[in-house]
A and B are shown apart, each in its own frame.
Chain A
Amino acid sequence: MIRSEMNEQGAPAADAEAAVECYLAAVTAQLAGSARLQTGIAAELRSGLLDAVDAHQSAGLPRAAAARAAILEFGDPAAVASGFRPEIAARMARRVSVAILVTGPLVGALWLATAAASRLAPDVRLAGLPLVAAAVGMTAWSAAAAIAATGRPTRWLPIRPRLAPTAAAVAGFSAVTADALGLVLLSVQASVSPAHLAVALAAAGAAASLARILLARRAACHCLAIRATLA
């Protein structure tokens, strides 16, 4: 059947480029991830497809038929997209986890400085800090797991594609929890003993935590959405 199509003549060469673009659009329409990532994938596939078109044309096919043969050779757009999905999920999970691990110590340093400069109420010190420490520990552990699950250990271990976005989402929500706990402790301290609070540092810590809550929550939701696209 392919052979008989290949023998058709006549379609203008511009059709070949249009057919290639149409195929690429069908692939990228089924991909999650940033526009930049999709453009990069499409650019790489485009050069491969055009190489394949050239090869079929050199073998004697008219350009439009060569494009059809190249597209058949590349395979079902859905299959190609599903091959890329775990890669996109891994990149996303890694980026989110690195961002969480980098921003964590910055926000944490502000809160530690606030705590050091204030005289903390006993409730805050005894009940609050262990909770924050647990949330911070969970954040760091799951972000590190997501980074490990998308890097070198994939050489030796069969790691399921859903693991990394799951761990990154857990890291994101744990970071939200840690920051929210920081804000709760701040409000407790402000209401119990406002005189013993380093206000400027506390305000900086609160602003940093609020920003991180918004960003980490959004990133965690993205990771869950990408996780849902994986088989």
Chain B
Amino acid sequence: MRAEALKGHLDGILLAVLEQGPCHGYAIMEALRERSGGQVDLPTGTVYPALHRLERAGLVKANWSTAGGRRRRVYELTRAGWRALDSERGAWREFSAAVTALLQPAPLAVSPS
């Protein structure tokens, strides 16, 4: 699944990964791959600007922390981030239910003869 296919949903997906707890950029990318069964294959470098955008919107906050001798920028959901995740989920459920219904094969019309 490429970036274009995820367009418009990346923010919600990143928030959903952070629901599990604070995470740094590379771990977020690994979680995306793992949770999508390898279907999501974005260039890792493009996830960082998306995280910065979420930070600017106040949906996540970031702090530098050091572990294993390496400094990493760790992201976590803010209260507004939790709310945004809830509403993304609701919107996705509605959207996917509607598209699923629309893509169902239509029952064959039986013409009376």
Which residues of A are at the interface with B, using a C-beta cutoff of 8 A? 27, 41, 43-45, 47-48, 50-52, 55, 73-77, 79-80, 83-84, 86-87, 90-91, 150-152, 154-155
Task: Return B64 CB to nearest CB of chain A, in Å.
Answer: 8
- Could you tell me which residues of chain B, from 55 to 87, have a CB within 8 Å of some CB in chain A? 56-59, 70-73, 80, 84
Task: Return B6 CB to nearest CB of chain A, in Å.
Answer: 14
At the interface, is chain B mostly helix, strand, loop or mixed?
helix
Q: How far is the CA of A91 from the CA of B49 in the complex (A)?
A: 13
- Could you tell me which residues of chain B, from 1 to 48, have a CB within 8 Å of some CB in chain A? 24-27, 29-30, 42-46, 48
Q: How far is the CA of A150 from the CA of B73 in the complex (A)?
A: 21
Task: Return A155 CB to nearest CB of chain B, in Å.
Answer: 5
Chain A residues with CB under 8 A of B59: 155
The answer to whether B45 touches A47 (Cβ under 8 A) is no
At the interface, is chain A mostly helix, strand, loop or mixed?
helix
Q: How far is the CA of A152 from the CA of B52 in the complex (A)?
A: 13
The answer to whether B46 touches A79 (Cβ under 8 A) is yes
Q: How far is the CA of A79 from the CA of B2 in the complex (A)?
A: 14
Q: How far is the CA of A150 from the CA of B49 in the complex (A)?
A: 14
- Name the residue on B nearest A23 (C-beta): B45
The answer to whether A155 touches B57 (Cβ under 8 A) is yes
Q: How far is the CA of A48 from the CA of B48 in the complex (A)?
A: 9
